[in-house]
A and B are shown apart, each in its own frame.
Chain A
Amino acid sequence: MSPQPQAAVGAPLSRVDGRLKVTGRAKYAADHKPDGPDGVVHAVVVDSGIARGRITGIDTGAAEAEPGVLKVIHHRNAPTLPYGPNPGSLNLPGQRLRVFQDDQVHFHGQPVAVVVATTLEAAQHAASLVKLDYAVEPSETDLAEAPATGDPVTYTRGDAEAALQSADVRLEMTYRPARNHHNAMELHATVAQWDGDRLTLWDKTQWVQSPRAELAANFGIPAANIRVVSPFVGGAFGNAARAWPHLTVAALAARETGHPVKLVLTRRQLYSGVGYRPAYEYKVRLGSDRRGQLSAMTHELRGETSRYERFSERGVLAPGQMLYTTPHVSQTYRTVALDVNTPTPMRGPGYSTAAFPIESAMDELAHELGIDPIELRRRNEPENDQASGRPFSTRRLRECYTVGAREFGWSRRDPRPRSTRDGDRLIGTGMATAVYDTLRAPGQAGVRLDADGTAVIESSTSDMGPGTYTSMTQVAADALGLTVRNVTFRLGDTNMPTAPLHGGSLTMASVGSIVQDGCDKVRQQAIRLAVEDEDSPLSGADPDTVVVRGGRLHLKDDPARGETYRRLLARNDLTRLEAMGSWTPGQSRSSMYAYGAVFAEVAVDARLGLVRVRRMLGVFDAGRIISPKLADSQAIGAMVGGIGMALLEHTVTDHRDGRIVNANLADYLVPVNADVTGLKAIYVEGRDDEADPLGVKGLGEVVVVGVAPAIANAVFHATGRRVRDLPITAESLL
């Protein structure tokens, strides 16, 4: 087939769903109102006030007496739910939390009852009237205090201990990135409606298949009985991938009361009701020669998990294995079970955690040896993936360094810490490398070209913000030879063909290739129809010489000879052409990652220790860029998230009772507008044709990975103080 002209892909288009979003008409989960005579009733979760123990008493009298209250459900009156196995889900080793099935409390904030009332006000107030008594058991929520549990995950190559012994230079540091909560602006919300034994959920989710499978297992009903709808997601960053316990609460409340139920977690409840990026202790030892050639690295990690499930993430180990030439590597990753709820992947999962210790350690080594940090990284740039022995599909990291250094003005940098002042402020610059897995997954998309020359493509993926609606529209428009205006992409409904999880930066590569496949098939159907149709101007032409542009099929070398989809379909009495797109990533011979180099300039108030990021630059190798305007927003947005991780974000637990004390947006600080200036992103040119047919590597994760260490390294350069705990607070600099 003749390659299609690319008009939409690569063009800086505005979001196709922009109008809906700026007019308030985009419907997020809590905005849905089920049809039906009695509208929707409201559920409010009551959560535990202790971290560990048993519920010994529950008094719902006052709550039930509240006007409008329909029911209070808790472990003493809830039906036994099947909670069957849910293989292939995002559930973790261990036993998932079973709501209202027993009197056990596993963490502070665990859902222990739900109040359902005709109005939100009544439900909220009644929830505050439910009285619980507990038999409290001692709890442990402090990663620093608790022993590791279970077998560690380990990785070894060479003999790191011996290599460290004989190294010219040895460094040993322990870094402590804090627990972070995703805190997407949208609260987790679900509207649940039963119709007999069929359930519809309007849910905030990155993967409509996920709540469907979980509720089917929990309620013991066929998955086919459950429909999940989620056209808009108000940010998620990984936290709306797993189906959390409140979904079961909502469905149970709807079933027990016989009404459609809306359940919206409060901001406070998001700190215990859904996951978070766990805190780690990350001990690094480096060995190198005087020229900065690494010989050995050891990583010893301890990461938080809950007592009822074991959360671990490969990404905390991967960069240490493949980012730099290192003959000897030894890694030991232990999880520490605490009386907390279970963590979950958060943007750049694992990699952004690991990048802080590894990229800080490289900066420490550069300083120790008096070598420029970029030069040190160049000297350790591997020729292949030393973990797998495979070649890299593409790795344009050197180019990222070169472009970044030039654009940022790196050569003007005085390498001595504390060498630059601007009045009371100490100025510093720093950089860090970013890396993230190129993930791909199989799935399907339905493509329909209508007789009027417009197309509709459906796939049950999601758009939590990156712009799936827009980028898929661009891919489809080019593959079909239509203008963007004539293409509609729909997502977020289990009634649509199955798509993989919208996360891990795999959507563009995976769903994009799936959509392109379906559109290619439809276009080829049309071309075949035309060349075999005696009445078509294309009759008898070689199908491989026909392209479609602006809804018109024509010979590639003779644009005058052709006709429109509309005429072709009308003449053949066809109302539509349809195809199912699919794509399954093949076994790869290569090691596939996206890369980046991130640069930061900070100003630190010499007397107050306050850090301000003055400017940042990220240069990324993410393969081909489908939607440049949106890709720019994603990278800049990730820098804002990374500023939070570096300087502000820290979930604080009172270890006496396991309560999170800053479970709100006034005390858990995230960057605000005034914190952010001078952010810039550059994508280096180039496809990765081994990754997928579109040549993309995924970008939503890699753009956050290097931000925190770049800032931390800039703070060191500004102040001469190496802070190894995140976030870097004013206190840590005084």
Chain B
Amino acid sequence: MSTETPESAASPPARSPSTPSRRTFIATTTAAGGVVAAGGLVAGPALLGAQEAAAADASPSSRVSLTVNGERHIVTVDNRTSLLDLLREHLDLTGSKKGCNAGACGACTVLVDGRRVNSCLILAVRLEGAEVTTVEGLARGERLHPLQQAFIDQDAFQCGYCTPGQIMSGVGCIEEGHTGSADEIRESMSGNLCRCGCYVKIVRAVEQASGRK
């Protein structure tokens, strides 16, 4: 029921391992929900109860300093804020997309310290000192990154919604050296869904940019 709320996004950053985390709490209530719902009176989808409310109280926030696309930001964020929501809602960097908010689609892929990650799964408060690169930070002025250009050349997108995530993931894939074969690229790019079905051309674009073709 509430499992799609990014589980980590709601768990306070520095909690001792013995404290029951929200992750386990959600798992319990979700399971219970199915059973109760089959009976009679049930609570709504909002099954997180009073205990949770008490725990939440005022929403704690933290100061984080991080670099995004080469620019240093010092921000005060709600501890529940994901990196994706920080980028989109607070830094006006809406290139990174939300497709599931649960780590299942890759639309939110960015690079953190050079590694590709699903930004919907990372809490902003954990990123003290981190270097984040989003799709907005790839081009040098008007000069596109080779992979951006390859996406255009190969027509590796249609609606374009998954594209920022695909491109960031592709940059990661190339950096990681997973471009030895088309099969390897396919495997390495399979965390990024494209509902328009551009996979064949995404592979070609990664090949083009990695110099394989």
Q: Provide the bound-state CA to CA distance between A113 and B70, in Å.
A: 42
Contacts of B117 in A (CB 8 A): none
A235 and B46 alpha carbons, distance in the complex (Å): 29
Contact of B152 with A18 in the complex, beta carbons under 8 Å = yes
Bound: A24/B10 CA distance, A = 27
Cα-based distance from A597 to B130 in the complex (angstroms): 52
The answer to the question of A283 belonging to the interface, with a C-beta cut-off of 8 Å to chain B, is no
Q: Which segment of A119-127, A443-451, A563-571 sits at the interface?
A: A119-127
A264 at interface by CB-CB < 8 Å: yes
Chain B residue contacts of A237, Cβ below 8 A: 195
Residues of B contacting A124 with CB < 8 Å?
Answer: 5, 80
B80 CB, min distance to chain A CBs, angstroms: 4
* B92: min CB distance to chain A, Å: 7
Partner of A24, one of B34, B95, B185, B186: B95
When distances are taken between beta carbons in the complex, the residues of chain A under 8 Å from B44 are 46-49, 112, 130-132
Report B144 CB to chain A, min CB distance, Å.
7
B160: chain A residues within 8 A (beta carbon) = 17, 20-22, 26, 232, 234, 465
Name the one of A136, A183, A465 contacting B159, with C-beta atoms under 8 angstroms: A465
Interface size class of A (residues with CB under 8 A): 35 or more
Inter-chain contact B37/A185, CB cutoff 8 Å: no
- Interfacial residues of chain B within 160-202, with CB under 8 A of chain A in the complex: 160-164, 167, 182, 185-187, 189-202
A560 contacts chain B at the CB level, 8 A cutoff? no
Pair A22/B10 contact, Cβ less than 8 Å? no
Is B97 a contact of A23 with CB atoms below 8 Å? no
Question: Which residues of the partner chain B approach A561 to less than 8 Å between Cβ atoms?
Answer: none
A66 at the interface (CB under 8 A from B): yes
User: Distance in Å from the Cβ of A389 to the closest Cβ of chain B?
Assistant: 38
Contacts of A632 in B (CB 8 A): 155
Interchain nearest-CB distance for B186 vs A (Å): 5
Q: Does the CB pair A185–B194 fall under 8 Å?
A: yes
- The answer to the question of A401 belonging to the interface, with a C-beta cut-off of 8 Å to chain B, is no
Are A122 and B59 neighbours in the complex by a CB distance under 8 Å? yes
The reply to whether the CB of A528 lies closer than 8 angstroms to some CB of chain B is no
The answer to whether the Cβ of A165 comes within 8 Å of any Cβ in the partner chain is no
Chain-B contact segment, one of A2-10, A362-370, A674-682: A674-682
Which residues of B lie under 8 Å from residue A21 when comparing CB positions? 151, 157, 160, 163
Interchain CB contact under 8 A, B100 and A267: yes
* A129-B52, A464-B159, A633-B158 known; A49 vs B37 contact (CB < 8 Å): yes
Contact status of A267 and B45, CB under 8 A, knowing A66-B56, A235-B161, A664-B104 = no
| Cross-interface CB contact of B199 among A24, A640, A664, cutoff 8 Å | A640
A184 CB contact (under 8 Å) in B10, B92, B195 = B195
* Distance of A136 Cα from B96 Cα, bound (Å): 41
Is the Cβ of A186 less than 8 Å from the Cβ of B198?
no
A129-B46, A187-B98, A676-B197 given; A633·B155 CB < 8 A? yes
CB distance from A83 to the nearest CB of B (A): 24
Taken together as a complex, chains A and B put the C-alpha atoms of A236 and B161 apart, in Å, by 11
| Any B CB within 8 A of the CB of A167 | no
Chain B: minimal CB distance from A321 (Å): 30
Residues on B with beta carbons closer than 8 Å to the beta carbon of A637 = 158, 196-198
Q: Taking the complex as formed, is B64 at the interface, i.e. its CB lies under 8 A from any CB of chain A?
A: no
Residue contact B34 to A657, C-beta cutoff 8 Å: yes
B201 contacts A657, C-beta separation under 8 Å: no
- Asked if A604 is at the interface (CB within 8 A of a chain B CB), the reply is no
A338-B92 Cα distance, complex, nearest whole Å: 43
Q: Given the known A-B contacts A15-B152, A125-B10, A267-B4, are A664 and B198 also in contact in the complex, defined by CB atoms under 8 Å?
A: no
Residue of A nearest to B40 (CB): A136
A149-157, A305-313, A665-673: which lies at the B interface? A665-673
Please give me the residue from chain A that is nearest to B33 by CB atom.
A49
The residues of A that contact B149 with a CB separation of less than 8 Å are: 22
0/1 string, A94-138, CB within 8 A of B gives 1:
000000000000000000100000011110110111111111100
B interface, by DSSP: helix, strand, loop or mixed? loop
Chain A residues closer than 8 Å to B157, beta-carbon distance: 15, 18, 21-22
| Given A128-B2, A674-B186, A28 and B196 contact (CB-CB distance below 8 Å) | no
Flag if A234 contacts B159 (CB, 8 Å): yes
Interface size class of B (residues with CB under 8 A): 35 or more
Asked if A686 is an interface residue, CB under 8 A from chain B, the answer is no
Contacts of A396 in B (CB 8 A): none
B134 part of interface (Cβ distance < 8 Å): yes
Whether, in the assembled complex, B48 has its beta carbon less than 8 Å from a beta carbon of chain A, the answer is yes
B101 and A267 form a contact (CB under 8 A): yes
Contact of B4 among A27, A467, A639, A664 (CB under 8 A): A664
In the assembled complex, the CB of B209 is this many whole angstroms from the nearest CB of chain A, namely 11
Q: Are B98 and A674 in contact (CB under 8 A)?
A: no
Cβ of A614 within 8 Å of any chain B Cβ, yes or no, is: no
Question: Is B85 in contact with chain A by the CB < 8 A criterion?
Answer: yes
B128, CB-defined interface residue at 8 Å? no
Separation of A186 and B33 alpha carbons in the complex (Å): 28
Do A665 and B99 form a contact, CB below 8 Å, given A121-B80, A129-B52?
A: yes
Q: How far is the CB of B122 from chain A (nearest CB, A)?
A: 14
Residues of A within 8 A of B190 (CB): 672-674
Taking a contact as CB atoms under 8 Å apart, the answer to whether B196 and A235 are in contact is yes
Pick the contact of B105: A50, A467, A665, A677 (CB < 8 A).
Answer: A665
Interface presence of A285 (CB below 8 A): no
Q: How far is the CA of A659 from the CA of B34 in the complex (A)?
A: 9
A732 on the interface (CB 8 Å rule)?
no
Mask, A10-38, CB within 8 Å of B = 1, is 00001101111111111110110100000
Within 8 A of B (CB), among A517-553: none
Within 8 A of B (CB), among A264-305: 264, 266-268
Which listed residue, A28, A128, A671, touches B5 by the CB 8 Å rule? Answer: A128
Q: How far is the CA of A134 from the CA of B38 in the complex (A)?
A: 12
User: Which A residues are CB-close (under 8 A) to B2?
Assistant: 128
CA gap between A22 and B192 in the complex, in Å: 15
* Contacts of B41-61 to chain A: CB distance below 8 A: 41-50, 52-53, 56, 58-59
In the complex formed, the residue of A with least CB distance to B95 is A24
What 0/1 pattern do residues 459 to 483 of A give for CB contact below 8 A with B? 0000011110000000000000000
Which residues of chain A are near B40, meaning CB under 8 Å?
A: 136
Contacting residues, chain A, for B85 (C-beta < 8 A): 120-121
Q: Which single member of A465, A671, A672 contacts B158 (CB below 8 Å)?
A: A465
Residues 376-394 of A contacting B (Cβ, < 8 Å): none
Q: Which of B53, B153, B196 has the most C-beta atoms of chain A within 10 angstroms of its own C-beta?
A: B196
Is B136 among interface residues, defined by CB-CB distance under 8 A? yes
Chain A residues with Cβ below 8 Å from B135 are 22-24
Most buried by B among A14, A28, A186, A638: A186
| Chain B CB within 8 A of A352 CB | no
**Does A68 reach chain B (CB closer than 8 Å)?**
yes
A residues less than 8 Å from B138 (CB atoms): 23
Whether B148 lies near A23 (C-beta < 8 A) is: yes
B94 within 8 A of A: yes
| Residues of chain B within 8 A of A556, CB atoms compared | none
Q: Which of A63, A112, A673 touches B203 (beta carbons < 8 Å)?
A: A673
- Look across to chain B and name the residue whose beta carbon is closest to the beta carbon of A39: B89
Asked if A65 is at the interface of the complex by the 8 Å CB criterion, the answer is yes
A129 B53 Cβ-Cβ under 8 A: yes
Q: Given A23-B135, A186-B97, A673-B189, are A657 and B155 neighbors across the interface (CB < 8 Å)?
A: no
Residues in B117-143 with C-beta less than 8 Å from chain A: 134-136, 138-139
Complex CA gap A464/B3 in Å reads: 29
Contact B100 A664 (CB under 8 A): yes
Contact (A185, B4) CB under 8 Å given A24-B134, A68-B59: no
B34 touches A121 (CB 8 A): no
Provide a sorted-by-A list of 22 A–B residue pairs whose CB atoms are within 8 angstroms. A21-B157, A22-B135, A22-B167, A24-B134, A49-B37, A49-B44, A66-B59, A120-B89, A122-B78, A131-B46, A131-B49, A136-B41, A266-B4, A465-B196, A632-B155, A641-B195, A657-B34, A664-B102, A664-B104, A665-B100, A665-B102, A665-B104
- In addition to A22-B167, A675-B199, 10 A-B residue pairs with Cβ atoms within 8 Å of each other are A66-B53, A119-B89, A184-B159, A266-B101, A637-B158, A637-B197, A641-B195, A654-B34, A665-B104, A674-B190
Q: Which 4 residue pairs are nearest across A and B when measured between Cβ atoms?
A: A24-B95, A640-B197, A234-B161, A637-B197
